[in-house]
Structure 1
Amino acid sequence: MIPVLVTQNVVVDHTRGERRDTLDQAWAEFLAACGLLAVPVPNHPAAVDLLTAADAGGLLLTGGNDLAAYGGSAPERDAVEACLVAAAIERGLPVLGVCRGMQFLLHRFGARLEPVTGHVATEHVIETGEGPRMVNSFHRWGARAGAGPLRVTARAADGVVEAVAALELRVAGLMWHPERNAVADVRDVALFRDHLGVGSCAR
């Protein structure tokens, strides 16, 4: 399996005075179905060295904390992801952002995020280049347009951007959570395998 660096959510345990890095175990299972090995990344500046040390095949920015620029409380995560994305792009490694991860990419390339309604704990139809599909939705922030090299590849009916891609940079993002489906969607498996370098879906 190809190792992929996976960023983590920051959760504060006030009873113990700890800031914890957390990752849903569902990610390891979903990535394994894609032929990928999840390598969790600590929210620490030294984490950028993992790109070389782990011989990573790519970078996955997961969901979770709001961006600090929009009121989030995990600036250390933003800083680490900024370093990781810059290093991955410089080295020509693929980057894939999910939910907050896609928001991070949009913000990095200059898009304006705004509060959106009807996108939390629900399912809805999106329009993609391959036609409509139903996806889950767990986000409070969204964009109405791409930015910089990020081209819009999917939208919800209300105009909110649901997926982006900058193929020349090997960067892509999606707003739904493929790891939260009880059974992995073969389209998501194919997307992860293709973008992160495993090849066509063989399930």
Structure 2
Amino acid sequence: MFKVIVTQRVDHLKERNESRDALDENLCRWVIAAGGLPFPVSNVLDDVLLFEYLHHIDPDAVILSGGNDIGDFQCRDNTEAQILNWAHSHKVPTLGICRGMQMLITWSGGTLNEVAGHVGQRHNIHGDISASVNSFHRYGALSVPEEFTVIARSAEGCIEAIAHRDWPCEGWMWHPERDLPFSPLWLDRFYKMVTRG
């Protein structure tokens, strides 16, 4: 099994005055189904502890999970930016799911726009990847920084998937873990990215 660092969303419970890191169990199941072993990372680690954690785990891949909008919780934004800096410099295969793809875009200097009709929907995507996918996002992009290529768009032109030009890194705006049973298409694509097959 290959080791996968997985970032977590932040849930704030006002009635308890408590913030929690959280991860959909189905994303862990999806990683396992792809042949990996998930290692969730906390959003409370400072840079020194975060890099120590990454060094200790020595992951074969990184997944930036979905949930939260960028800017909602600075601790998560910082954690993911530092993980991306590390993964990029070490060329560790990385997948951004939904918000994770948005993070890839903003981390590399791109911008997001609010999009309509992409929450709780299914739609077709076309390009290097053609499929019917789920959709749960309020923000998207119409262009990406030059180090990325667009590999799929929705019918109205919203970018749905990207790939880095010189690093095994992709962003998908859909949630592969939310389609049950898991699609072999996405499991195989992730496996090949990690194993460079």
Unaligned runs of 5+ in 2: none
Which amino acid in structure 2 is aligned with residue 113 of structure 1?
L
CA–CA separation in structure 2 for the residues paired with 1:59 and 1:139: 21
Q: Report the counterpart of residue 33 of structure 1 in structure 2.
A: 33
Q: Which residue number corresponds to residue 174 of structure 2?
A: 176
Give, in whole Å, the separation in 2 of the partners of 1:197 and 1:12.
36
* Other-structure match for 1:67: 70
Note if contact 1:2-1:35 (Cα within 8 Å) is conserved in structure 2. yes
Q: Taking structure 2 as the reference length, what is the TM-score of the superposition?
A: 0.94
TM-score, length-normalised on structure 1? 0.92
Equivalent pair of 1:2/1:198 in contact (CA under 8 Å): no
1:120–1:138 CA contact under 8 A, matched in 2: yes
Alignment counterpart, residue 52 of structure 1, candidates 48, 52, 55:
55
Q: Which secondary structure state, in structure 2, belongs to the residue aligned with residue 126 of structure 1?
A: strand
CA shift for structure 1 position 198? 7.0
**Runs of 4+, deviation exceeding 3 Å:** none
**Conserved in 2, the CA contact under 8 Å of 1:154 and 1:162?**
yes
Task: Return the offset for 1:31.
Answer: 0.8
Distance 1:198 1:185 in 2: 20
Cα RMSD of the aligned pairs, angstroms, is 1.2
Residue number in structure 1 paired with 2:152 = 154
Name stretches of at least 5 consecutive residues in structure 1 with no aligned partner.
none
Aligned length: 194
Cα offset, 1:167, TM superposition: 3.9
Which residues in structure 2 correspond to 1:72-87 (within 5 Å)? 73-87=72-86
